[in-house]
Amino acid sequence: MPKCSLKNCKNITSRRLKKDGISYFRFPRDPIRCGEWTSIVSQQRREDFFKPNNSSVVCSEHFLEEDMYVSSKGIKRIRKTAVPHVADITPQDLKDIENLDDGRDTGKKCKSPTTSLSSGSVLDTPRKLRMKCKLPSCSKRFTIKDKLINNLRKRNSRLVKKIISLKNALKVLKKRLDRYNYTYAIVTNYTY
């Protein structure tokens, strides 16, 4: 029962079928095209190390209509050059936009465009101004997450080096044990 590889997509092959108008497409076998798909999906999932497996699929909702066609047997197919089309809006962004549209305050207040031109143009909508006000806090969160990711990468590389050194030490000890067992066997056979 593969699930669509994109984050927050609820399409699963056992629930949404072809009769519902949903088709599922496996990642291409061509390494270049598979790399394109993988990079798009990993960016959408915000995972640097996403790797598709043999059962990874992307549903037809994430492809443009011009990238799809219906075969002579009535099966929905995608063109060889098709790649998943993903909007850069996350569910959190959608909630923020809904809150802005509702007119509720979401934190820091921005000045009206008529009173201050430094926050935006007179032609900017109030929603756009609020989003501009949220931009510094979001960019700060991204820098914090980037630092965390870099620290985890450094920690991971240190652990990999430690594992390699432990494996080497284990090999040396195993050789010593084998040498000891060999000499012990020679000595015990010689005494009898």
pLDDT in tens, 10-33: 888 777 666 677 888 899 888 888
Mean pLDDT, the chain, integer: 77
pLDDT score, position 160: 93
3 state DSSP class of 100: helix
Extract the runs of DSSP E, i.e. beta strands, from 60-171. 68-70, 76-78
N-term to C-term CA, the chain:
65
Q: What is the pLDDT of residues 135-177, one digit of tens each?
A: 888 888 888 888 889 889 999 999 999 999 999 999 999 999 9
Q: What is the pLDDT of residues 60-84, one digit of tens each?
A: 888 888 888 888 887 788 888 888 8
Domain ranges of the chain: 1-88, 91-187
Query: Is 58 exposed, middle or buried, given 0-12, 13-18 or 19+ CB atoms closer than 10 A?
Result: buried
Which residues is 55 bridged to in the sheet? none
3-class DSSP assignment, residue 78? strand
Contacts of 82 (CB under 8 A, 6+ apart): 63, 64, 67, 68
Q: Rounded to an integer, what distance in angstroms lies between the CA atom of residue 81 and that of residue 23? A: 17
Give the pLDDT of residue 169: 94
- pLDDT class of 101 with cuts at 50, 70, 90: very low
pLDDT at position 116 over 70: no
